[in-house]
Amino acid sequence: MAGHGHIPSWLRVAFAQVFVAGVLLPTAALAQLLPPTVVPAQAGNYLTPSLSVAEVYDDNVFFTPSPRTHDFLTRISPGLNAGYQSAPLTVWGSYTFDSEIYSRHSELTTPLVRQRGLIELKASPDQVLTLSVSGAYYQTRTPQELNLTTGLATSRVLAERYTGSQAFTYRFDPLTTAKGDYTYAKDLLAGGITIDSHIVNLVLDHRITPRDTIGPGYTGRQFRFAGFPTITSHAFTFGWSHDLTPLTTFTLRGGPRLTEGKVDRLPEAFASIRHTLKRGELSLSYASTSTTAFGQATAVRTQSITGKATTELLPKLELSAGPAVYWISSDAFKATAYSALLQATYQLTKMLALAASYQYSFQRGSFNPQTGPTGPPNVEILHNIFLIRLTVIYPARVD
């Protein structure tokens, strides 16, 4: 796993200044840098091997405007989770890879189309302090899946992401909690640009009523593009969370963002409403932020509206839906991306699950995954993926 490298001086100073002032902020902004995780549910040592086999129909395997190229493929995904969990300490790791076999385009068949690995350590030295350290590796030949905050389509090319993160939570008293995290990420694209990202988040939450929590925050970002200028930004925010009902929570956080000393036209902002169902959850979120995209040598501004609905329709049958729309812009291009994911999962037995999903995406703008931000101003890319998957897992305790 790659190390964190040298932490920039501006980052150390910003972190120290905000920490001393008591302004410690939320840790949610960097979750997109890490692959999905599965945490053991009980105390002890665990070893959980798994195997998934999926049949997939992809109607645009090369991410091109019309005409599109379709194909059927078989995806085989072995995986392993292992860890130790106790009250003061949790250590665990996971690794999985995908092999894909294409019916028509055999040149795309590869035993390692993507890999995902993660290791994490979480410690609670006492009741008021929680510390965590994690590292992750992600390799894929379809980099769009790593553009989680933009949804921007990319060409089929080998991409890698290394991340390292440290986080803490400190509870001053029953009403006041401080949170902070620092994440380093390195993105590498074959034949393209290497991007190093340093991101720090700090927040201080204080409950002022049984239903209301407020607090200041700070987000600092530095994006280094190999051979191109470095971009640094600072966002100063204020947040409010309100429990509309015992099952419904509204959250709002926002404030000005300065990039290279100039106030951005769009502020840093996040708003969400979340409702818990008897057997599921509904959520709707809006975000405005600055991030990076694979292959682009500059920061991109993005606004997004995302929704999610999950419900247990029948015993052992879970349905979920996740629509999203992204508005992406930079000095070189503008694009709008729409996506939706529909999925049904049925737990056949304790160890066997069957899932089916449909993924839709549509992108319009002056960005072409094959040529970059050049060419006609209204490039349109439509993409549909249908999948059916069978997964077997075998959790076991290791004494």
Element (H, E) at 9: helix 9-20
* 399 residues of the chain, pLDDT tens digit each: 444 444 454 444 443 433 333 333 233 333 333 334 444 445 689 899 999 999 999 999 999 998 999 999 999 999 999 999 888 999 999 999 999 999 999 999 999 999 999 999 999 999 999 999 999 999 999 999 999 899 999 889 999 999 999 999 999 999 999 999 999 999 999 988 999 999 999 999 999 999 999 999 999 999 999 999 999 999 999 999 999 999 999 999 999 999 999 999 999 999 999 999 999 999 999 999 999 999 899 999 999 999 999 999 999 999 999 999 999 999 889 999 999 999 999 999 999 999 999 999 999 999 888 777 766 778 999 999 999 999 999 988 776
Furthest-apart CA atoms within the chain: distance in Å: 62
pTM, rounded to two decimals: 0.86
Task: Give the separation between CA 161 and CA 50, rounded to whole angstroms.
Answer: 24
What are residue 226's phi and psi, to 5 degrees? -55, 120
| Chain-centre distance for alpha carbon 231 | 21
| Cβ neighbour number for residue 265 with a 10 Å cutoff | 8
The C-alpha atoms of residue 383 and residue 58 are separated, in whole angstroms, by: 8
Three-state DSSP class for residue 199: strand
Report the pLDDT value the prediction gives residue 35, as an integer from 0 to 100. 36
Half-sphere exposure of 130 (CA within 13 A, CB side): 14
Report d(CA 132, CA 137) in Å as an integer.
17
Strand, coil or helix: 331:
coil
Element (H, E) at 300: strand 300-314
d(CA 259, CA 278): 44
Helix (H), strand (E) at residue 10: helix 9-20
Domains, the chain, ordered by start: 9-397 (2.40.170)
DSSP one-letter string for 353-395: EEEEEEEEEEEEES-BTTTBS-S-S-EEEEEEEEEEEEEEE--
CB proximity list for 111: less than 8 A, separation 6 or greater: 99
The alpha-carbon radius of gyration of the chain (Å, integer) is 22
Tell me the Ramachandran region of residue 372: left when phi exceeds 0, alpha when psi lies from -120 to 50, beta otherwise. left
How far apart, in whole angstroms, are the C-alpha atoms of residue 211 and residue 214? 10
CB-based contact 195:187 (threshold 8 Å): yes
- Output the six-digit token pair for 46: 């665990």
Q: Are 297 and 314 in contact (CB under 8 A)?
A: no
